[in-house]
């Protein structure tokens, strides 16, 4: 058996209700996050907005339908140019996940990494904004290269009579580039480990597909200790691991 490194995990964790972290009333926030967790388990699916109803083909592991929003007015290095509809996970051992919990949510669930890889999950590439490349920063370099791509390939598709490029090929390349750039995220190296803007510490993985699963596929449930009995009553069919988020 190979040696398992402490800084990676065999499971990937998805935290729910992170968008509710600005709700000041902690009890209300936790109740809403708990409801989201129960809904995910009931539907046996993790989805992204607008959370459309989706039936998966029997025997399939995912439906190959993806959507990405591109704002070409934004700089790529701002992390706001491409808004991919994706399911996010973190590759953090459970013993070291407390910072992530404090940033997002005390409620989550995890799956084996191998299970999620089969459903489109991949780690993202982190790029330091101030890291040097060709006499520039990575921010400057990536922004310039993406601008060149937008100028020639996107314009060739929209105005084919002005370019010698083949618009259909440019469309294909454009789709590939958006897919590729969807797995790149810029970070500031001077942020502390617990800073909400220190994206590097998230060790993020993404899947462009809804994650359909069965109860037995869940590797772990994460929730506050006070919700333990309630969860067992609400989801009696779950017999797997439970980790208390206020105990890690």
Q: Where in the sequence is the domain holding 222, given as residue range(s)?
A: 11-247
CA pair distance 149, 196, nearest whole angstrom: 31
More confident residue, 121 or 82: 121
pLDDT of residue 154: 60
- The 10 Å Cβ neighbour count of residue 94 is 16
Percentage of the chain surpassing pLDDT 90? 56
Q: What is d(CA 15, CA 238) in angstroms, rounded to the nearest whole number?
A: 18
* Position 142 pLDDT exceeds 60: yes
d(CA 130, CA 127): 9
Inside any domain, residue 2: no
Q: Are strands 136-137 and 45-46 parallel, antiparallel or unpaired?
A: unpaired
Q: Residue 116 pLDDT more than 80?
A: yes
- Looking at the predicted structure, is the pLDDT value of residue 233 above 90? yes
pLDDT at position 2 is: 54
Does position 194 have pLDDT exceeding 90, yes or no? no
Residues 170-189 have pLDDT tens digits of 667 777 888 899 999 999 98
- E-state strands within the chain: 11-15, 45-46, 68-70, 82-84, 87-90, 108-112, 122-123, 125-128, 132-133, 136-137, 184-187, 204-207, 211-212, 218-223, 241-244
Read off the pLDDT of residues 3-29 as tens digits, 9 standing for 90 and up. 556 677 899 999 999 888 788 899 999
Greater pLDDT, 35 or 67: 35
pLDDT at 168: 67
49 is a domain residue = yes
Q: Stretch 160-173: mean pLDDT, rounded?
A: 59
Give the three-class secondary structure for 145: helix
CB-based burial of residue 27 (10 Å sphere; 0-12 exposed, 13-18 middle, 19+ buried)? Answer: exposed
pLDDT above 90 for 99: no
| Domain annotation covers residue 139 | yes
4 assigned to some structural domain? no
Mean pLDDT over 119-132 rounds to 94
- Is the pLDDT at 234 greater than 90? The verdict is yes
Residue 112 has pLDDT above 90, yes or no: yes
Q: Which residues pair with 103 in a beta bridge?
A: none
Q: What Rg value do the Cα atoms of the chain yield, rounded?
A: 20
Confidence grade of residue 160 (pLDDT, cut at 50, 70, 90): very low
Closest to 15 (Cα-Cα) out of 79, 75, 91: 91
Q: Domain for residue 199, yes or no? A: yes
Residue 233 lies in a domain: yes
What tens digit of pLDDT does each residue of 42-98 get? Answer: 999 999 887 888 888 888 888 876 777 888 889 999 999 888 789 999 999 999 899
* Predicted pLDDT at 218: 98
Query: To which residue do tokens 């590097």 refer?
Result: 200
What is the Cα–Cα distance from 26 to 118, expressed in whole angstroms? 36
Place of tokens 């890291």: 131
Is 69 part of any domain? yes
User: Does the residue 92 lie in any domain?
Assistant: yes
pLDDT at 126 over 50: yes
Q: Which of 66, 67, 62 minimizes the C-alpha distance to 115? A: 62
What pLDDT score does 163 carry? 46
Q: What mean pLDDT is predicted for residues 133-153? A: 88
Specify the number of domains making up the chain: 1
pLDDT at 128 over 50: yes
């Amino acid at each position: 058996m190979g040696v398992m490194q402490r800084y990676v995990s065999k499971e990937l964790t998805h935290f729910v209700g992170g968008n509710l972290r600005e709700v000041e009333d902690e009890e209300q926030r936790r109740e809403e996050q708990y409801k989201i967790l129960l809904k995910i388990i009931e539907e046996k699916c993790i989805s992204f907005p607008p959370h459309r109803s989706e039936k998966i083909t029997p025997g399939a592991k995912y439906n190959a339908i993806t959507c990405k929003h591109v704002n070409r007015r934004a700089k790529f290095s701002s992390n706001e140019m491409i808004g991919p509809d994706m399911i996010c996970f973190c590759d953090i051992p459970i013993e070291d996940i407390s910072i992530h919990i404090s940033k997002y949510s005390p409620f989550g669930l995890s799956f084996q990494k191998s299970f999620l890889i089969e459903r489109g999950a991949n780690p993202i590439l982190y790029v330091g904004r101030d890291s040097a490349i060709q006499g520039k920063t990575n921010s400057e370099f990536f922004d310039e290269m993406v601008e060149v791509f937008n100028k020639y390939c996107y314009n060739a598709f929209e105005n084919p009579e002005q370019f010698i490029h083949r618009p259909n090929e440019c469309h294909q390349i454009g789709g590939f580039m958006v897919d590729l750039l969807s797995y790149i995220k810029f970070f500031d190296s001077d942020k502390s480990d617990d800073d909400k803007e220190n994206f590097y510490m998230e060790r993020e993985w993404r899947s462009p597909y809804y994650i359909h699963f069965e109860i037995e596929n869940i590797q772990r449930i994460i929730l506050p200790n006070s919700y333990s009995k309630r969860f067992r009553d609400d989801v009696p069919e779950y017999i797997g691991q439970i980790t208390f988020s206020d105990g890690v």
